Amino acid sequence: MSNKRGAHAQLDPIIHPLPRLRLCAILAPLDWEEFQTLRDLLKTSDSALSKQLSALTEAGYVEQLRASRGGRSRVRVHLTAAGRRAFRAHLAALAALAQSE
């Protein structure tokens, strides 16, 4: 028998893939994080992380800031206000689905 509480839960198709969900979870409590740190935490390649960040950036969920420091190019990343709202809503939808069983 299913409970209808989870019936209206709307998972966000942009955030739902596991690499993006993990990325949002890392960024949620932070102001900004370095690309290299994210890559290392997620144990992924530069190209794979870039692909996930591009999808989140295109949706308006992530902003990337490129800057040079000490002659090296750095990329810093953060969740936008829209990204934070979408992530919270996605987590609420997951919780509702989990409770619907």
Structure tokens at 56: 């989140």
Residue 2 within any structural domain of the chain: no
Condensed to tens digits (0 to 9), the pLDDT of residues 12-50 reads 999 999 999 999 999 999 999 999 999 999 999 999 999
Predicted confidence (pLDDT) per residue in 63-89, tens digit: 999 988 778 889 999 999 999 999 999
Residue 46 lies in a domain: yes
- Is the pLDDT reported for residue 5 higher than 70? no
Rounded to the nearest 5°, which phi and psi values hold at 48? -65, -40
Please check whether residue 1 lies inside any domain of the structure: no
For residue 24, being part of any structural domain is answered with yes
Measured at the CA of 17, the angle between CA 16 and CA 21, to 5 degrees, comes to 65
Helix (H, G, I), strand (E, B) or coil at 78: strand
Number of domains observed in the structure of the chain:
1
pTM assigned to the model:
0.85
Containing structural domain, residue 43? 9-99
pLDDT-based confidence at residue 8 (cuts at 50, 70, 90): low
